Amino acid sequence: MSAETLAARPSPLSRRGRLLLGLLLAAAAAWATLGLAPSDALPGEAGRGILRLFLEGALSPALTYEGSDVPADAPPLLARVAGALWRTVVFAVAGLSLSLVIGVVLGFLGARSWWEDDERECAVRARARAPVRRVLAAVHLSVRVTIALMRSVHELLWAVLLLAALGLTSFSAVIAIAIPYGGTLAKVFSEMLDECPRDTVRSLRAIGARGVSVFAWGLLPRAMGDMSAYAFYRFECAVRSSAILGFFGYPTIGYYLRLSAENVHYREVWTYLYALLALVGLLELWSSRLRRRVVMR
């Protein structure tokens, strides 16, 4: 039987079914590789004690320091929480604004809809444009590779790298956020630009508009709503990333959370957690309201 007749035969499983089956097998294999014992997923004797302490903390988050070993010059706990929260936001804002610049520039270069037009052009003109297109295609490809590389390293790993290269400075935290986020924004922006309906582009070309005008009038405004909604969503993520950067010594909320947890001050941990939750929840409310306004179809 040739490959074609094999492919044409109706398969007993749908594509979804095959994917799900494959996933199940992969998960079973992965489970075996890791040697996971179901009993280990539940806390042991010591773990249960910690868990109890931890859950009790949820009901009575600390308003003042739990321990007695507080340095004399330490600010009140709530002031510390507020400060940490503020610095978390500062890093997120700085990181995201930098990544927006990266994302817009690389997103534009990584999109092809502004130079690759689908008009059934006459052969003479197409030949004349061919060298320009080859250059643009090369730029496009190299930008896509750059974007993929930026994205493929987690922000914490960028932070680790930058800590080694620059030392502990707030700017390295900002760059650590800005690189992978810039890559992600660029990828999503370029996809949004490329997936825009083409009717406006065609109609603007048909009345003689240049490439730049077509992009600025026909593509950008259309994609703008989705792009700003997505950027805001990424801000939420940036706040979370900025929070965990604290685990590596930056003065964001993760730093204090880790300290408190290592001192087994779980009521303080909950104060930090609640503060983070409130911030993220607030941003989520804001972003869903904004999305309703800007993404209109």
Partner 1 sequence: MSERLRRLHRARPRSRFVRASAAVGGLCTAYVWCSGAVEAGDFLSARRRENLVRFLTEDSVPFPLRGEGFDLAGAWSWAGEVLGGRGLQAAVATVAIATVAIALAGVLSGCLAPLAAATVATERPVEPAAGGGRPAWRALRLIVRAGMIVMRSIPEYVLAFLLLAVLGPNHAWPAVLALALHNGAILGRLGAEAVENLEPGPLRSLRGLGASRRSILAAGVFPLALGNYLLYFFYRFETCVREATVLGMLGVVSLGFYIQDARAKLYYDEMLLLIGLGSVIVLAADWVSSRARRYLRSGV
Partner 2 sequence: MSSPATGFCLRGVCVEYGASAALREVDLEIEPGEVVAFVGPSGAGKSTALGLCNGMVCPTSGTVRLDGEDLCGLPAARLRALRSRIGLIPQELGLVGNLRVSQNVLAGRLGRRGALAGLRPLIHARRGELTEVLEILDRLGIGEKLFHRVDTLSGGERQRVAIARALYQEAGVLLADEPLSALDPARARETLTLLLAVAREEGLTLILSLHDIDLARELVGRLVGLRAGRVVFDRRREDVTDDDLRHLYQLEGDERVG
**Binding residues for partner 2, per CB under 8 A?**
119-125, 128-129, 199-200, 202-213, 216-218, 221-222, 224-225, 296-297
Please choose which of partner 2, partner 1, none residue 203 contacts, taking the beta carbon within 5 to 8 angstroms, the exact cut-off set by kind.
partner 2
Nearer to partner 1, 136 or 220 (CB): 220
Q: How far is the CB of 214 from partner 1 (least distance, A)?
A: 25
Indicate whether 91 belongs to the interface with partner 1 (CB under 8 A). yes
Shortest Å distance, C-beta 75 to partner 2 = 46
In terms of CB distance, is 91 or 232 closer to partner 2?
232
- Cα angle: 78, vertex 64, 256; to 5 degrees: 60
Least separation in angstroms between CB 200 and partner 2: 5
Decide: helix, strand or coil at residue 51: helix
Please tell me what DSSP assigns to residue 68.
Answer: S
Binding partner of 121, given partner 1, partner 2, none, CB within 5-8 angstroms per partner class: partner 2
Could you please report the per-residue DSSP string of 213-280?
Answer: HIIIIIIHHHHHHHHHHHHHHHHHHHHHHHHHHGGGT-SSHHHHHHHHHHTT-HHHHHHHHHHHHHHH
Q: How far is CA 269 from the centre of its chain?
A: 25
> Given the structure tokens 């490329």, which residue do they identify?
194
Dihedral sign from CA coordinates of 142, 146, 151, 157: positive
Q: Which does 124 bind (CB under 5 to 8 A by kind): partner 2, partner 1, none?
A: partner 2
Shortest CB 204 distance to partner 2, Å: 6
Contact region with partner 1 (CB under 8 A), list: 33-41, 73-81, 118-126, 199-207: 33-41
Interactions with partner 1, residue window 192-251 (CB under 8 A): 240-241, 243-244, 247
Q: Would you say 148 and 183 are in contact if contact means Cβ atoms under 8 Å apart? A: yes
Q: Out of partner 2, partner 1, none, which partner does residue 210 contact, by CB within 5 to 8 A per kind?
A: partner 2
Return the residues of window 100-139 that contact partner 1 according to CB under 8 A.
Answer: none
DSSP 175-217: HHHHHHHHHHHHHHHHHHHHHS-SHHHHHHHHTT--HHHIIII
Stretch that binds partner 1, among 122-130, 131-139, 203-211, 254-262 (CB under 8 A): 254-262
Residue 244 binding partner per list partner 2, partner 1, none, with a CB distance cut-off of 5 to 8 Å that depends on partner kind: partner 1
Cα distance between residue 86 and residue 65, in whole Å? 19
